[in-house]
Structures are given as structure tokens and as C-alpha cells.
Amino acid sequence: MKKLNICIIEDEEILRVSLKDDLLDAGYIVNDFENPLKAIEHFKKKNCDIVISDIRLPEMNGLDLLSEIKSLNPNTFVIIMTAFGSVETAVEAMKKGAYDYITKPFDKEELLLIINRIKEVKALQSKNLDFQKYFQDQFNFDAFIGKSSFVSELKEALKIISQTNSIVLITGETGTGKELIANLIHYNSPRRDKPLVKVSCGILSKEVIESELFGHEKGAFTGAEKLRIGRFEKADQGTIYLDDIDDVPLEVQIKLLRVIQEQEIERVGSSESIKIDVKIIASTKADLKKLVLEGKFREDLYYRLNVLPIHLKPLRERKEDIILLFDYFFNRFSNQKQFEIENNVYEILKNYHWPGNVREIKNLAERLSILCYDSKITTDRLPQEIISNEQIIGNILKSENKSLTEILEEVEKQLIQNALIKSGNNKAKAAEFLGLPPSTLKSKIEKFGMN
């Protein structure tokens, strides 16, 4: 931590010089002023960390000086020196923003103790700023990586959604980034300085989920030896993120509906209602509409949750983001180390189905950054499931709303493309892989308009 810059304002010369010498000996940078007006001129040119000022000064009242200092720099700590009979004035100064006061005559150790407390406060403030900067960097909207129109539209929507208190329902396959979206909404909202409490509903048993969400009173059930504060209560004034909301049992869904409607909870074993102010974000990989029809999810709760729906597309539906994501994660895991990556690798990555979505591409990037010790990434370093024809065919067969002719053409095109990638664009080798005459392969390449 840099040396603190301290300014002394005192018209009594002996005290001022003595105090300056003590603070210089203690290792501080010190400027002293007899006249408060000259001190103000100094403050206008250069900031001061701490001001030690007498309450009674020539040409300006100490309280007026305090107001002037705070207007120039609200972060300046002011210590007021006062005679015993002026303590009330010193207390008034603290109400106006002074950090502390000290009564004359005082021991230098007493003053150094106050200064040390200020140093601790400044250190905490600095850590808090670092903490805030970390979250600003970690959870700005660009943390959702992608250049597709879907990602651009999503970021614009998040800027609006994060400023509201309305309930958000995030849907999407495993690994699409539902928790990241919850983080982005909270840390860009007016609630960012309040708690973000996360609940994985899928890992909580039926027996404990109600107590986890709403808390319980001492003696509410066997084993409830003390009062427990639930997740909703802990999230008061902040945000609660309910992941896998579809796993909440029906009997608890009724109570969850009441929390949403009334903004109040009841601990297990209590009939007393507790008011809460919580923004709710829920997420699911399941089809809640289907679960409603099957009687496994309450219809009224579904419509209460589905105020601001966000659906995260799987990676296979935003292929233009695949390479950007891979490069982002690979650079992160390789610590910016330079690697030589074959173009064919990128082609294979773009044509893979990515059933694990962003989580899968992140894991692959980490794996390759560790195992490719020779700084080269070639197609033979990729996992077999990523380059296998069976995987390609399986992915195409999962496609919906396509005719048989379209599916067959897509399979044929993908197999040809895969063979060309594996052969390094050598058409003779690709034809050999496919068991086709080179002339037939050439005509099919022309038919599909493939390079």
C-alpha cells in the first residue's frame, strides 16, 4: 500500500510542527498549513488521504472547512482536533462527515491508533473495489461468448431484464450456460451488492428441500435442534436462483407459488409469515409444458414463473459461435501459449453436434491444452466421438421437420465433408475412404456446391 499523504491544519505553530515531525517519523508524507484557505488551495491541486484539522481556525470555521474538504474529495478522511470544551462541536463535525475527533492535549500514540484504523478501512475499501472490478469483468454481458445473432439479441434482452424485478425462467439443454445467465442478470442489476443465493433443486431430497428453501424452527421435526434460516430468507433484498426447478416436489410447489404471490414465507414448524423482497430466477432443462400435461408440474406455478422466458439455444444451432468459444477457452487454459492448430481441426469442430454444449467444448479445450505438449493440435488428437461418421449420422437423424430426401442428402454431404477433412482435402484419398470412384465423388462435390 502506498504511503498515506497527511495534511495538518493548525494555527498553533508548536503543536503543528511537533505533530508533523511525529508523522514524518512514522513514515507518512506530511504537509502542514497554518491558514485553512491556503490548505484549500493545496487540496484543489493535490488530493490528501487524511486531514488533521483544528476545529477553531483563523479566517474559516472548522465545520465550513470540513464541508469544503468533502466537496473537493468525499473520500478524504478528516480527524478533528478539539479542546475539551468543544466536544459537542466535534460530534457535530462527525455528523457532517469527519471520521473521528481527538481531544487536546493528546498522546501521539492515540493519534497514530486512529490513523492505523483509517489505513485498515482504506485497505478494505481497496479490496472491495478490486472485488467489484472482478465481478464487473467476470460478469459483464460479454462473458456470454458468441458472435451469432442469437447471442447479440440475448445480450440486449439481458440489459433490460437485469433492471427489472420480474421473475425469469431460463430454459435450455445441459451445458448451455443457464447459471452464467443468472449471474449476469444479478450482477448487472440494482441488487448486485446484495446476496445471490443458488439452490440446486435436483440434488435436494423431498425430505429436506422445504427446510432448505424456507427454513425451520427449532423442534419443528426430529433432528431440528436449532432454528435454520432458509435460502429465501438469506436472499432477502437480493436474488435467488432455483436451478432444476422441475425437480421441486408438487407439495412444495404449492408453497413456492405462495412465496411468489405474497412475497412472504413461513418457516417449517411456524405459522408466522416473514416478508421478503427477492428476485427469483428459475431454470430447467426439462419441458415444463409437457410436465404440466403429465401432472408433474403445477400449471399455475408454470405461468407464474414464465414471466420473462429466456431460451438458450444449443451450440449446434449457433455454429458460428463454436470456433470463437473454442479459441476463448483454449487461450484461457493454455495461458496464451502459442499453438499450431490445423484448419481441419476447426472444420471438424464446426460439424460436430456438441451434445454437451458449451460445457463440452470447454472440457475439450482444457484437455487439448494439457495433452498437446508439442504445441500442435492435429485431427488425430481429437476424441474419436467428435470425428466419427456414426456420430454425424446420429446427429442428422435427430433433426426434426426434414423429409427423407433432405436427411439422406445431409448425411451424404456430411460424410463427404468428413472424408475431405480427414484426407486433408485430397479427393483421391477421400474417395477411397468413402469407397467411391473419384469421378463420382467429384460430381457429388459439384452437386452439393462444396469447396
Query: The CATH number of the domain where 264 resides is what?
Result: 3.40.50.300
Split into its structural domains, the chain has a count of: 3
382 within a domain of the structure (yes/no):
yes
Residue 257 lies in a domain: yes
pLDDT of residue 298: 96
pLDDT band at 399 (very low <50, low <70, confident <90, very high): low
Q: What's the confidence (pLDDT) of residue 397?
A: 61
Residues 172 and 107 in one domain: no
Of 257, 288, 313, the last residue of a domain is 313
In a domain, 189, yes or no: yes
Considering the domain architecture, whether residues 190 and 282 belong to the same structural domain is answered as: yes
Does residue 298 form part of some domain? Answer: yes
My answer on whether 258 and 153 are in the same domain is yes
Provide the pLDDT confidence category of residue 85 given band limits of 50, 70 and 90.
Answer: low
The predicted structure's pLDDT at residue 180:
95
Single-letter code of the amino acid located at 182 = A
Determine the pLDDT at residue 176.
Answer: 95
213 and 295 co-located in one domain: yes
- Tell me what the mean pLDDT of segment 125-130 comes to: 75
Q: Is the dihedral of CA 317, 321, 325, 326 positive or negative?
A: positive
Let me know: does 60 contact 89? Beta carbons within 8 Å.
no
The answer to whether residue 83 scores a pLDDT higher than 70 is: yes
Beta-strand relationship, 50-54 and 29-33: unpaired
Q: What span, in angstroms and rounded, lies between the C-alpha atoms of 155 and 161?
A: 10
What pLDDT sits at residue 136? 65
Residue 109 has pLDDT above 80, yes or no: yes
User: How is residue 174 annotated by DSSP?
Assistant: T
Q: Which residues pair with 228 in a beta bridge?
A: 216
Place of cell 468413402: 434
Instruction: With CA atoms as reference, report the closest residue to 294 among 238, 230, 246.
Output: 246
Residue-wise pLDDT for 352-391, tens only, equals: 888 899 999 999 999 998 888 778 888 878 887 787 655 5
Is 193 found in the same domain as 74?
A: no
Verify that 112 and 183 share a domain, yes or no: no
Together in a domain, 324 and 292: no
Q: How many CB atoms lie within 10 A of CB 197?
A: 19
Q: Is residue 399 part of a domain?
A: yes
What is the pLDDT, as a whole number, of residue 7? Answer: 94
Residue 398 phi, psi dihedral angles, 5° rounding: -75, -15
Question: Is 138 within a domain?
Answer: no
Domain range spanning residue 104?
A: 5-133
Q: 313, 346, 361: which is the final residue of a domain?
A: 313
In a domain, 240, yes or no: yes
For residue 349, tell me if it sits in a domain: yes
> Which of 294, 313, 332 lies at the terminal end of a domain, its last residue?
313
Is the entire prediction scored with pTM above 0.85? no
Residues 354 and 424 in one domain: yes
Same structural domain for residues 181 and 247? yes
The CATH number assigned to the domain holding 422 equals: 1.10.8.60
275, 377: one domain: no
Task: Write the pLDDT tens digit of every residue in 434-443.
Answer: 888 888 888 8
Mean pLDDT of 178-194: 94
Buried b (16+ CB within 10 A) or exposed e, 386-400: bbeeebbeebbeeee
φ/ψ bin of 295: left (φ > 0), alpha (ψ from -120 to 50), beta (otherwise): left
Same domain, 214 and 124: no
Q: Are residues 329 and 251 in the same domain?
A: no
Query: What is the pLDDT averaged over residues 226-233?
Result: 89
The C-alpha cell that represents 7 in the structure block: 495534511
Average pLDDT, the chain: 87
User: Residue 100 sits in a domain of what CATH number?
Assistant: 3.40.50.2300
Write out the E strands in 224-367. Answer: 228-229, 239-243, 264-266, 273-275, 279-284, 308-312, 340-341
